[in-house]
Amino acid sequence: MATDSYREFRQAIEGPEERIDLGRAALTISLADYPELDVAKYLGRIDELAIQVSQRSGADADIFRSIAALNYVLFREQGFGGNREDYYDPKNSFLNEVLERKRGLPITLSILYMEVGQRIGITIEGVGFPGHFLVKTNSEGDEIVIDPFNSGDVKSHEELQIMLDQIYSGKVRLHRELLAALPKKQILKRVLGNLKAIYGRADELAKLIAVLDRLIILDPASVENLRDRGMLYRRLDCYGQAKDDFETYLRLAPDAKDTGKAAAGDRTQRERVANSQTAEGDADGDLVGLPRIHTVTRPGPGLYAFVDHQDTATCRVFLRARADHPRTARGPAVRDRT
């Protein structure tokens, strides 16, 4: 029986906003790269940090003392901070690695900050500020904007405007919408969006498809991600999967500017699937009606399974092989891009 490799991720994002455990959901993002990850162990690490903060702040701490204790424990005692030296290392996007290495991106450090804050009774929300993720909390109606990437600095409106000016050359003024709280699923989308960009630049196709899978689980109507996954499946010669994604994309976005290109891709995938389905078997002993799997010996460990692109489960065997051994695990129709 087939197993759902995204079961933990699906479970973590189920239900209404208030029931989503952001820390657990962020850790399940890591499972594609760290399949043996002990999620409970790292949630326990966050619990331990919260205990240290509580001990420092005291039982009757107000919001300002709590923030001071949170900043002291995370950034002075524990040494968490932004990874400026290797900003685009994918490990910066994995919460388990942030907890191990104490380095991360603005968004992953913000998730940690939010989760520790929640455990000590502070409501801290994520803010998708342009170019730099922040968090905010509230004191008697006044918003306090905090930058976990920079040791928990509290940002004034003047400093936020300077940050905007650095991006937009003075053309955008600070307004309330830029400081709106992001729902947890949107925060997870941004984490995955960072990984999508990183793996896309590195041309790590198997890892990129795993990221796109989770983005589509978060938002099944995400036409951009459906289109992008279809294009990747086509590059990998997984024609059946490409066809499904292109058809869904065309149905959800019939007026998109690139629907002509997608439709042409869909027709190509239909033709290839139809052609492959006419095969009656060959010298390798393929049986009619079963997914065709070709095994080839490559230099390096083991025997790799390559598929003829009709069945999702067998296609993913190929994708897993590429992820495990990217220099040796290649299907016969996939060009060497390493």
Kindly list the distances between the CA atom of residue 30 and the CA atoms of 109, 110, 195, in Å, as whole numbers in the listed order. Answer: 15, 17, 11
Q: Would the pLDDT of 64 be above 90?
A: yes
pTM score over 0.85: no
Instruction: Please tell me the distance from the alpha carbon of residue 207 to that of residue 33, in angstroms, as a whole number.
Output: 8
Q: What is the CA radius of gyration of the chain?
A: 23
pLDDT band of residue 178 (cuts 50, 70, 90) is: very high
Helix 63-71 to helix 106-119 angle (10° resolution) is 130
Residue 276, phi then psi, degrees to nearest 5: -70, -25
Tens digit of pLDDT for each residue in 180-193? 999 999 999 999 99
Domain-located, residue 104:
yes
Cβ contact 124:118 at 8 Å: yes
Tens digit of pLDDT for each residue in 33-59? 999 999 999 999 999 999 999 999 988
Determine the pLDDT at residue 55. Answer: 96
Domain-located, residue 253:
no
Name the helix (H) or strand (E) containing 154: strand 153-155
Taking phi over 0 as left and psi of -120 to 50 as alpha, with beta for the rest, 127 belongs to: beta
Domain-located, residue 31:
yes
Domain-located, residue 56:
yes
pLDDT band of residue 262 (cuts 50, 70, 90) is: low
Residue 178, phi then psi, degrees to nearest 5: -70, -15
Domain-located, residue 269:
no
Strand, helix or coil at 64?
helix
Cα dihedral: 222, 225, 229, 235 (round 10): 140
Count the domains in the chain.
Answer: 1
Residue identified by tokens 């899978």 is: 213
Residue 218, phi then psi, degrees to nearest 5: -65, -40
- Of 65, 48, 64, nearest to 56 (Cα)? 65
Q: For residue 150, with 0-12 CB atoms within 10 Å meaning exposed, 13-18 middle and 19 or more buried, which class applies?
A: middle
Tell me the average pLDDT across 132-153: 95
Domain-located, residue 72:
yes
Tens digit of pLDDT for each residue in 145-167? 999 999 999 999 999 999 999 99
pLDDT band of residue 259 (cuts 50, 70, 90) is: low
Percent of the chain with pLDDT over 90: 66
Domain-located, residue 33:
yes
Determine the pLDDT at residue 300. Answer: 30
CATH number at residue 119: 3.10.620
- In eight-state DSSP terms, residue 87 is T
Determine the pLDDT at residue 236. Answer: 83
Instruction: Please tell me the distance from the alpha carbon of residue 93 to that of residue 86, in angstroms, as a whole number.
Output: 12
- Domain around 70: 7-184
Q: Which residues contact 41 (CB under 8 A, 6 or more apart)?
A: none
Q: Which residues contact 30 (CB under 8 A, 6 or more apart)?
A: 37, 94, 95, 96, 97
Instruction: Please tell me the distance from the alpha carbon of residue 274 to that of residue 128, in angstroms, as a whole number.
Output: 45
Q: Which residues contact 94 (CB under 8 A, 6 or more apart)?
A: 29, 30, 33, 34, 108
**Range with the lowest mean pLDDT among 67-76, 90-99, 116-125, 328-337?**
328-337
In order, the DSSP letters of 71-86 are HIIIIIIS--EE--TT
Domain-located, residue 95:
yes
